[in-house]
Structure 1
Amino acid sequence: MKNNFNKIKLIVGLGNPIKKYNKTRHNVGIWYIRLLSKYFNVQFTKIKKFSGYKSEIFFLNKKILLFFPDIFMNLNGYSIFSLSKFYNISLHEMLIIHDELDLFPGHIKLKYGYGSNGHNGLKSIICKFKNHTFYKRLSIGIGRPIFRNDISNFVLSKPTINEKKLILKSIYESINLFFF
């Protein structure tokens, strides 16, 4: 699995700012990045010019930046794009971590492809980079609401206790699989 990270220079966790969203399904990308930083015992620093929080780890004898935007999901492409330009990192050298409605809680999928599957955070990134370059993404399952027209409320709500346990378990397992 570690071969999947040979060319990765930046790992981005998607989510929304504002404390009330910290524990919501839409912020599981940030949950992942924060837990990964704990494994590597690194802290995040707020970087205003990138509108986000940055840290770095050393893995496979190279530095990998960790980042999560401090702007709303549908605008995060601006933040990620400015960071990537500063560090000269291409979209195909990133791993984007995000919530996924089409996976059940506790399921994670590593994908190399393009497109957004309707995810507003991914749409923002693709739009800002203005290309259809393949990129790596780690989709963390959050499941779907019962009613299709309730998606916005669903992703911005907290998972049930059981869903949260499944999501966290899948995050821990993937970190152990990918990094240790």
Structure 2
Amino acid sequence: MKYLIVGLGNIGAEYANTRHNIGFNIVDELVKDLGGDFDLLKLAYYAEVGYRGKKLHVIKPTTYMNLSGKAVNYWMKELKVLPENVLVVVDDLALPLGKLRMKLQGSSAGHNGLKSIEELCGGQNYARLRFGISDNFRKGMQADYVLGHFDKDEQKELPTLINRGVSMIKSFATIGAAQTMTLFNK
């Protein structure tokens, strides 16, 4: 079985470690944990790692967040990965900081990266791992907030939360989204 694991974010030093790039941070840790490295290939940084007999194809799109679907669509076709074996790791304003939730499918909830994936990959039939970044911003400041860095108190919690995300991805690849939801969505 092969899986496509997609960490959403924006490329470039100015976006590194921002709230919007938590998807990149989680898949970076996954690949590091499994002894892999990313290479810059077509439309994405790409790594291939194994976990318990499963092949995980991990990408970080280089298309910027709003065009993530272009990279996901290309790699799904290139690798011949079915939508049910795709997991997208994404930041979520609707969840409190550090809350991680796996969903089998669903709407984009206004997230531009997910909107792009829906439009270019044929719908919402893919799992997503949502990482809560909370909505602690003043009206009209959403873009600055998501493109901003975690504050010092939040940064202290990140390693534990990122490792939890890695555990959820490994669970998805071994026991599937539904059982992972039962184990982790508390």
Q: Give the structure-1-normalised TM-score.
A: 0.88
- Alignment partner of 1:166 out of 129, 154, 157: 157
1:94 pairs with one of 86, 95, 109: 86
CA contact (8 A) 2:26 2:165 kept: no
Question: Is the CA contact (8 Å cut-off) linking 2:8 and 2:65 kept in structure 1?
Answer: yes
Aligned twin of 2:133: 142
Tell me what 2:142 maps to.
151
Residue 108 of structure 1 deviates from its aligned partner by: 0.6
Q: CA deviation at 1:63?
A: 1.0
Q: Is the Cα contact below 8 Å between 2:92 and 2:132 reproduced in 1?
A: yes
User: How far does the alpha carbon of each residue in 1:107-132 deviate from its partner, in whole angstroms, 9 at most, with x for none?
Assistant: 11111122111111000000101334
- In structure 2, what residue type is equivalent to 1:165? K
| 2:80 pairs with 1:80 | no
- Alignment-mate amino acid for residue 14 of structure 2: K
Provide closer, same or farther for how the CA distance between residues 86 and 172 of structure 1 changes in structure 2, counting only shifts above 3 A: same
After superposition, the Cα gap between the structure-2 partners of 1:10 and 1:43, relative to the gap in structure 1 and judged at 3 Å, is: same
Q: How far apart are the structure 2 equivalents of 1:120 and 1:178?
A: 22
Q: What amino acid is aligned across from residue 119 of structure 1 in structure 2?
A: H
The percentage of aligned residue pairs carrying the same residue is: 30
In the alignment, which of 24, 30, 34 is matched to residue 30 of structure 1? 24
Q: SS at the partner of 1:113? A: coil
- Mind listing any 5+ residue stretches in structure 1 that lack a counterpart? 1-6
Q: Which residue of 2 aligns with 1:4?
A: none
Structure 2: give runs of 5+ residues left out of the alignment.
172-186
* Secondary structure in structure 2 of the residue aligned to 1:110: strand
Instruction: Kindly report the root-mean-square deviation, in angstroms, between the aligned alpha carbons of the 2 structures.
Output: 1.7
Q: Determine the structure 1 residue equivalent to 2:98.
A: 106
Following superposition of structure 1 onto structure 2, how do residues 2-21 of structure 1 map, counting pairs within 5 Å?
9-21=3-15
Contact 1:99–1:142, Cα closer than 8 Å, also in 2: yes
Once superposed, which parts of structure 1, at least 4 consecutive aligned residues long, lie more than 6 Å away?
none
Read off the aligned partner of 2:111 and give its amino acid letter.
Answer: H
CA distance in 2, matches of 1:66, 1:84: 11
Q: 2:46 aligns with which of 46, 49, 54?
A: 54
Larger deviation: 138-147 or 36-45? 138-147
| Distance (Å, rounded) in 2 between the aligned partners of 1:170 and 1:8 | 25
Letter in 1 for 2:37: Q
Task: Tell me how far apart the structure 1 counterparts of residues 70 and 166 of structure 2 sit (CA, whole Å).
Answer: 27
The 3-state SS of whatever aligns with 2:55 is strand
Contact 1:105 1:167 in 2 (8 A): no
- Residue 8 of structure 1 and its aligned partner are, at CA, apart by 5.9
Of 112, 117, 120, 2:112 maps to 120
Whole-angstrom distance in 1 between the partners of 2:143 and 2:6: 22
What is the aligned partner in structure 2 of residue 65 from structure 1? 57
